[in-house]
Homo-oligomer: A and B are copies of this chain.
Amino acid sequence: MPRFFIETTKSVSTLPTNSRPKFFAFGIPDYTNLGDQAVSLASRKYIETEFPEFQYIEILEDDNDAGIEAVEKIITSQDVVSFVGGGNMGSLYTEHESARRKVFSTFVNNLTISFPQSIHFEETDFGHKQQQLSQAAYSRNPHLFLIARDAQSYHRMQTTFSNHVLFTPDMVLYMKAEDFHFQRSGALFALRRDGEKVVDDTLVESMKHLLDKPQRSIIQTDTVLDTVDHITPMTREKLFQQELELFAHQEMIITDRWHAMVFSVLTGTPCLLFGNSYGKGKHAYIDWLEHIDWIDYTDETDLTRLKAIIDRLIGTPKHDFDLRPDFGQLHQLIARHLKTIS
């Protein structure tokens, strides 16, 4: 029995039978990666804020097959289908990719939106095979709009698929954080333990020594929580807020997680981002965030140069920024759809 998460109640529910246009959000995570959770939260906030005409209905990726079957029975041409954004389009996370393929190739008569993603198919036989499967599935849907969250992915999507491709930031950059005004102390290392990790452990230890001063505690953690087993649309907002509060207490974030940089942007926390295996953080930083002074990206391995960067970031005051106009192409797409059904 698929679970549907519908706005206002924010509880598990059956599918509604009213006549409002529906916005079906597939691929919703229940695993504990707070970056991915923040993406699905931000997508809901985006649609509820900008297009309140829609009834927003989330379907967990775990319920993908049963969810598709149930939605097929009630969907009409005024409804929009979407699949969650993030950094997992391609051959590295095949469970997500195959859920995505099934959604895109099923609802071929509806406006279908792939929320902002990074894409990476590996240059191996396995990667090529996966790419062919995705090409076959995506090409069945003439109303599918892929959205890239960095220019490298925009190029890759346009050269890989025949679908429309739009360009916006990661959905989490639509969010705003409250101004916490916490006394900052401590440095937080938010580091991957997965296959995308490339930062050298010795370098990490050296940076800890660099930042480890009498008045500054060092925390090493990850934005993937191990304190809970699952996160759902009912619990994610509180955990997201707690994470922002944790960040807002720090003097410095060292990370190789793109969303740790995003949380640093939202909370005005100095942050230095290192690379992952295929450059998704680097590209998203350079495309959207280079004008934000208290964060930086680096591939540097020289400790003296790193110290200079970290010292500069810690001393940089917060300033205003606004990335909401950058979601213009997504806005126009949905506005155009609403015009055709009104």
Contact = CB atoms under 8 A, between A and B. Distances in A.
Interface of A: 150-152, 154-155, 158-159, 164-165, 167, 279, 283, 286-288, 290-291, 322-323, 325-326, 328-329, 332
A271 to B, nearest CB: 19
Given A167-B167, A322-B159, A152 B290 contact: yes
Contacts of A332: 164
Nearest to A160: B325
Q: Copies per complex?
A: 2
A328 B151 contact: no
Contacts of A165: 328-329
A127 to B, nearest CB: 15
A159 B288 CA distance: 12
A286 B151 contact: yes
Given A151-B151, A332-B164, A286 B288 contact: no
29 contacts: A150-B151, A151-B151, A151-B167, A151-B286, A151-B287, A151-B288, A152-B286, A152-B287, A152-B290, A152-B291, A154-B167, A154-B287, A154-B326, A155-B287, A155-B288, A155-B291, A155-B323, A155-B326, A158-B325, A158-B326, A159-B322, A159-B325, A164-B328, A165-B328, A165-B329, A167-B167, A279-B290, A286-B286, A287-B287
Given A165-B328, A165-B329, 6 more contacts: A151-B286, A152-B291, A155-B288, A283-B286, A286-B286, A287-B287
A299 to B, nearest CB: 11
Contacts of A159: 322, 325-326
A154 B288 CA distance: 9
A135 to B, nearest CB: 13
A167 B149 CA distance: 13
Nearest to A327: B158
Nearest to A321: B159
A331 B165 CA distance: 12
Nearest to A284: B151
Which 8 pairs across A and B sit closest by C-beta, in order of nearness?
A: A151-B287, A158-B325, A167-B167, A151-B151, A159-B325, A158-B326, A286-B286, A158-B328
A55 B159 CA distance: 29
Nearest to A154: B167
Contacts of A323: 155
A32 B154 CA distance: 33
A332 B158 CA distance: 13
A322 B326 CA distance: 26
A334 B158 CA distance: 18
A329 B164 CA distance: 8
Nearest to A322: B159
